[in-house]
Amino acid sequence: MKGVTARSEGTVRLGPGTLYGALKRLLEAGLVEECGERADRERGDERRRYYRLTQFGLSVARAEAGRLDALVRAARRKKLIGVRPA
Amino acid sequence: MSPAAAERIYRLLLRAYPPDFRAEYGREMVLLFRDQCRESDVRSLGFWAAVICDVARSAPALRADAWRSRGSQSTQTTEVIMKLAAMLTVLLGVLGILNAVVEWAAGSKGVIDGTYVLAVVLGVFASALLLGAGIAILLRRQQAARLALFASLVSVMAARLLFPWMSIFSQLVGFGLPVALLIALYWPRRASPLGAA
């Protein structure tokens, strides 16, 4: 959750409900998979489950990133972003 | 407010989520909440506003998902029931035709009344339509099944008017089965198991 907040420069703050709701959907869609359960020594040895992106999830993430990249390039060409306001 | 008290409140808030989701992710969510409690001021209004916003944003969507999933399971059950009903209809249609043939053979030994003949013909026609309706349901031809059931009902009614001594069993099958199947076919379902009409 802290990673998401940091990467989005504080604009996205995930709570446990939003995070696990999204995780459940990603698991159902086969985009992520569980990769075991282990204790986290930094947090009092509580057992936590870990998840990782599947090969399919990686392909989907790449396709989505490509789509967003094309959109950003189109926005730059149209001078919607990347220019200083007059 | 102590972190333990905050956790108790959060456990209560977790009841907003569907039971299956709570069973799968409840423990992890509490662990994450515990992390948040360590890193934030649990006495601040902003902390609780964020927690309540998170629950209010995610719980209804997950409840809706769970409800949709239950709906889909119930649709599968309905599909199985309809298939069994269709098989029963085919069987009763065949039995109806055989019964009419036996009745005809028994009746032909004596003097045959024209009304009786018409009633037997209508009975055979109704049974054949019932048989066709059963096959149409099995082949997912909903509209054809409805038409066959309506026609079968009309034929049985005409036969009953012409020949009032129809057996109770024949009347139950002749009237009850098409009516029950028509109700089932017209009953609103989100994803019709019988496919295109």
* Full pLDDT tens readout for chain B, 197 residues: 788 889 999 999 999 999 999 999 999 999 989 888 888 888 888 889 999 999 999 999 999 888 887 777 777 777 888 888 888 888 888 888 888 788 777 766 766 677 777 878 888 888 899 889 989 988 888 888 899 999 988 988 888 888 777 677 777 878 888 888 888 888 766 544 444 33
Distance CA A19, CA A21 (A): 5
Q: Do A13 and B50 touch (CB under 8 A)?
A: yes
What's the average model confidence in pLDDT over A16-23? Answer: 93
Answer whether B193's CB lies under 8 Å from B75's CB.
yes
Do residue A34 and residue A12 come from a single domain? Answer: yes
Lookup: tokens for B34: 């515990």
**Phi and psi, residue B158, nearest 5°:** -65, -45
Per the domain annotation, does B114 fall within a domain? yes
List the domain range (segments joined by +) for residue A40. Answer: 1-53
**Phi and psi, residue B196, nearest 5°:** -65, 140
Give chain B positions within 8 Å (CB) of A16.
28-30, 32-33, 36, 54
Please report the ipTM that was assigned to this predicted complex: 0.76
What residue in B sits closest to A37 (Cα-Cα)?
B28
Residue A10: other Cβ atoms inside 10 A? 8
Of residues B164 and A50, more confidence is placed in A50
Distance CA A60, CA A46 (A): 32
Do residue A36 and residue A5 come from a single domain? Answer: yes
Q: Which amino acid is at B14?
A: L
Please give the pLDDT value at position B192. 44
Do residue B98 and residue B172 come from a single domain? Answer: yes
Do residue A68 and residue A34 come from a single domain? Answer: no
Please give the pLDDT value at position B169. 75
Please give the pLDDT value at position A28. 92
Do residue A60 and residue A38 come from a single domain? Answer: no
Which of B46, B37, B55 is CA-nearest to residue B1?
A: B37
Do residue B7 and residue B82 come from a single domain? Answer: no
Q: Distance (Å) from the C-alpha of residue B54 to the closest C-alpha of chain A?
A: 5
The answer, yes or no, to whether residue A1 has pLDDT greater than 70, is: yes
Q: Distance (Å) from the C-alpha of residue A6 to the closest C-alpha of chain B?
A: 14
The single residue listed with the structure tokens 């039995």 is B95
Of residues B21 and A84, more confidence is placed in B21
Half-sphere exposure of B125 (CA within 13 A, CB side): 16
Please give the pLDDT value at position A31. 95
Could you report the per-residue pLDDT of A23-46, keeping only the tens digit for each?
999 999 999 999 877 766 666 556
- Give yes or no for A26 touching B (CB within 8 A): no
- Give yes or no for B53 touching A (CB within 8 A): yes
When computed from its CA atoms, the radius of gyration of chain A, rounded to whole angstroms, is 18
